Amino acid sequence: MNKKQKILLVEDEESLAVGLQFNLEEEGYEVVHAREGKQALEFYEKENYDLIILDVMLPYLNGFEIAEIIRKTNPQLPILMLTARTRKEDKIHGLELGADDYMTKPFHLEELLLRVKGMLKRKEWYAASIDSSPVFKFGKSEINFETLVCKSGDKSIRLTPHEAMAMQYLIERKGKPVSRKELLERVWNITSEVETRTIDNFIVRLRKYFEQDPSNPQYIKSVRGIGYLFENDA
Amino acid sequence: MLIGLKKINSYVFYILVFILAQLAWMALLGLWIYWYVSNSIIFEEVGEQLSPQLDIDSPSTFIFVGGIILIVAVAFGMSVIFRNLNVQLRLNRLYDNFIANITHELKSPLAAIQLYLETLNSRELSAENKTKFINFMMNDANRLNNLINTILEISRLEQKKIAHDYSVFNGSKIISSLIQESAEQFQLEADKIKFNGNSDSRIVIDKNAMKIVIDNLVDNAVKYSAGKPEIEVKIEDKNKRFVFEFTDKGIGVEQKEVKKIFKKFYRVSDSNIPSVKGTGLGLYWVKEIIKSHGGKIFCTSEGINKGTTFQIELPIYGVSKKQLIKNLLKMKNKRSKHKNSGNEYE
């Protein structure tokens, strides 16, 4: 590894923060620690980070608010939410606001480190694959993988990071079928509690964006028994 | 948000049921009156024809007045029940809040302890790091223990099962020594606490319970100050009472909140608070303890960022609330007879 990957750790509990920082540094990451919401945004604006570990209950600005603010300007930065809240609603709320993953306290150290590693790996792959050509055109559609803004006909929408990653992965393997399992591993964390059904719902959404007739797809096609494939004949 | 909506709905639902119930029994009453009035004319006519000398006028005023009294009684009863229900609903809402807070307060130290145990288990650590981590773990274990004790002690206090240990003290001396003790625990510098005023009055307190009061006040001053807390304590006699004022220069309390903060489970929900720790039990506990001492506690604040003052009034030994103080000391004497040990009076 040439350059240390940088993680912004936002946690107001002193003891937890010190322990996390120690462990992440032992794994070879550079860690910046913010103690509350305002400080977190300050640090975020000053430097570039590869990943954010975000507590939810924080003074001044809570984790949900921070995630929302970050997502407005940076749709790709991986966010791992770490919180004592265990209610399903909180989890869904966090993921909706753009967190990539959600872990509840108390957590297992090894699991946390694996998830961080997985998220960073996915980010690297995504960054590398859009590096050469951030804008991809097909048919009447156009996706900018940097800003996640896509145009389809006269419509213009912004994809979620997961949607963009899924599209990116399918496009990268143009013409080759991609299994649901493969998509799960690449786009979501394998440990995430995302079911294969979720992938299908996802594809339905992507087709709505890009297909003129979603029930008769021209680009994002189903492959029976395997998964999906992207085709672009034009 | 969804849950909030559901709660408002259930609230509206209860009010609606209440109003409907009122309408229902009023309608029933109306029906009866209508039936009575329309029939009484017939009765009167029939009665007059059968036996004109019979007098049926006298009981009607009695029934009328009695009926009104009954209506008022029923309405009163209903509104009392409704008010109680309201209080219950509010408490339920606060309780949900409390559960969320307590989950956070229990899980955070637990998460840290687990993290350090797994670290110790999986990594080679320097002796220095090992000590540091073990210290963190001990602190967190302590925090958990304190929290659990708070919950248990409050429920004991509420059920009056707590055995108080009251003695007579010099008010000025005991309060300042308890504050200093507490400040040391919270690692506040000595010059950050100023004492003003004086009093030679003697007060009757349970030293351990009063320590809890002071600890909570200091803890609040620390939690709700943006930087290092500054505390001012003023001691004096006022209106035959021993009074001490505890002022911090923290973030203050809004006028509309100064009474609410003593309610069980209540927490001020404002994102400008420098700490999210807390359960909504601390000041409730403080108030209950002061109450059991025959005293009173008030909170005043000039507003946001202008600090907070807690004023505590306690009865003076031999001057005010003599009977109550006698009873408090009696409790102590009963206990010491059991233990057969002497007690130190200052």
Q: Do B115 and A18 touch (CB under 8 A)?
A: no
Q: Which of residues 107-146 of B touch A (CB under 8 A)?
A: 107-116, 118-119, 122-123, 129, 132-133, 136-137, 139-140
- Kindly determine whether residue A105 and residue B110, on different chains, have CB atoms separated by under 8 Å: yes
In a domain, B56, yes or no: no
Determine the number of helices (DSSP H) and then strands (DSSP E) in chain B.
7, 7
Q: What is the pLDDT of residue B53?
A: 59
Q: Where are the beta strands (DSSP E) in A118-184?
A: 135-138, 141-144, 149-152, 155-158, 178-179
Kindly state whether residues B187 and B254 are assigned to the same domain. Answer: yes
**Same structural domain for residues B317 and B272?**
yes
User: Which pLDDT belongs to residue B109?
Assistant: 94
Helices (H), A27-108: 37-46, 63-73, 88-96
Note the pLDDT of residue B93.
Answer: 83
| Cα maximum dimension of chain B | 114
- Nearest CA-CA distance, residue A133 and chain B, Å: 41
Average pLDDT across chain A, whole number: 85
Interface TM-score (ipTM) > 0.95 = no
Based on the domain organization, do B68 and B134 belong to the same domain?
no
By DSSP bridging, strand B202-206 and strand B166-170 are antiparallel
Total CB pairs under 8 A between chain A and B: 80
Chain A residues whose beta carbon lies within 8 Å of the beta carbon of residue B276 = 12, 57-59
Domain's final residue, options B142, B158, B174:
B158
Task: Provide the CATH number for the domain formed by A133-230 in this structure.
Answer: 1.10.10.10
Q: State mean pLDDT over B77-103.
A: 85
Domain membership of residue B276 as a residue range: 166-339
Query: Which H or E element spans position A141?
Result: strand A141-144
Q: Are residues B311 and B255 in the same domain?
A: yes
CB within 8 Å: B108 and A23:
no
Q: Is B204 helix (H, G, I), strand (E, B) or coil?
A: strand
Distance from CA of B194 to the nearest CA of A (A): 28
Residues B215 and B333 in one domain: yes
Residue B198 has pLDDT above 60, yes or no: yes
Instruction: Tell whether the model's pLDDT for residue B212 goes beyond 70.
Output: yes
Residue B153's closest CA among B209, B77, B106, B233?
A: B209
Strand partners, A51: A7
Which of B 232-291 lie inside 8 A of A, CB atoms? Answer: 271-276
B190 has a chain A CB within 8 A of its CB: no
Q: What is the mean pLDDT of residues A66-82?
A: 88
Check whether residue B75 and residue B217 sit in a common domain.
Answer: no
Find the residue in A nearest to B143 (Cα).
Answer: A15
The residue with greater pLDDT, A117 or A92, is A117
What residues of A are in contact with residue B115 (Cβ under 8 Å)? 16, 19-20, 23, 106-107, 109
The per-residue pLDDT for A38 is 92
B77 interface with A at CB cutoff 8 Å: no
In this structure, whether the domain defined by A6-129 belongs to CATH 3.40.50.2300 is answered with: yes
What pLDDT score does B58 carry? 54
Inspect the interface and report whether the beta carbons of A57 and B122 lie closer than 8 Å.
no
Does residue B239 share a domain with residue B204?
yes
Question: What is the average pLDDT score of chain B?
Answer: 84
At residue A24, the 3 state secondary structure works out as helix
Q: Is pLDDT above 50 for B321? A: yes
Q: Compare all CA atoms of chain A with the CA of B124 and give the residue at the minimum distance.
A: A26
Task: Give residue A14's identity as a one-letter amino acid code.
Answer: E
Closest-CA residue in chain B for A27? B123
Say which residue, B164 or B83, is predicted with more confidence.
B83
Q: Do A26 and B123 touch (CB under 8 A)?
A: yes
Q: Is A105 on the interface with B (CB under 8 A)?
A: yes
CA gyration radius for chain A? 19
Looking at residue B6, its pLDDT comes to: 53
Give the SS3 label for residue A80: strand
In a domain, B149, yes or no: yes
In a domain, B51, yes or no: no
Based on the domain organization, do B178 and B299 belong to the same domain? Answer: yes
Instruction: Give the three-state DSSP class for B221.
Output: helix
Instruction: Report how far residue B305's alpha carbon sits from residue B252's, in angstroms, rounded to the nearest whole number.
Output: 5
Sign, Cα dihedral of B188, B189, B191, B197:
positive
A27 has a pLDDT exceeding 90: yes
Indicate the angle between helix axes B127-158 and B282-292, nearest 10 degrees.
50
Give me the pLDDT at residue B51, please: 67
- Residue B192 belongs to a domain: yes
In terms of average pLDDT, the best of A1-10, A51-60, B17-26, B83-92 is: A51-60
pLDDT at B2: 43
What per-residue string of b and e applies to A94-120 under the rule 16 or more CB within 10 Å gives b?
Answer: bbebbbbbbbbbbbebeebbebbebbb
Residue B92 inside a domain? The answer is yes
- Total count of domains within chain B: 3
pLDDT of A111 over the 80 cut: yes
Question: What integer pLDDT is reported at residue B342 of this predicted model?
Answer: 43
User: Does residue B71 share a domain with residue B177?
Assistant: no
Read off the CATH number of the domain in which B255 is found: 3.30.565.10
What mean pLDDT is predicted for residues B220-237? 89
Indicate the pLDDT class of residue B346, thresholds 50, 70 and 90: very low
Contact B274 A36 (CB under 8 A): yes
Inter-residue contact B208 to B181 (CB < 8 Å): no
| Per-residue pLDDT tens over the stretch B113-161 | 999 999 999 999 999 999 999 999 999 999 999 899 988 988 888 887 7
Residues B205 and B256 in one domain: yes
Name the A residues in 21-60 with CB < 8 Å from any B CB. Answer: 22-23, 26, 36, 57-60
Question: Cis (ω within 30 of 0) for the bond into A106?
Answer: yes
| pLDDT tens track for B157-192 | 888 777 778 899 999 999 999 999 998 888 888 888
Beta-sheet pairing, A155-158 with B202-206: unpaired
pLDDT greater than 90 at residue B111: yes
Answer yes or no: do B132 and B203 share one domain: no
Q: What share of chain A is helix, strand, coil (3-state, %, to 5)?
A: 45, 20, 35
Q: Does A55 score more than 90 pLDDT?
A: yes
- Does any domain span residue B72? yes
Comparing alpha-carbon positions, the chain B residue that sits nearest to A65 is: B271
**pTM confidence score:** 0.71
Any idea where the domains of chain A sit in the sequence?
6-129, 133-230
Using CB atoms, which residue from B103, B108, B116 is nearest to A13?
Answer: B108
In a domain, B265, yes or no: yes
- Judge if B90 and B114 occupy the same domain: no
pLDDT of residue B155: 86
| pLDDT score, position A212 | 83
Least CB–CB distance from B107: residue in A20, A36, A106: A106
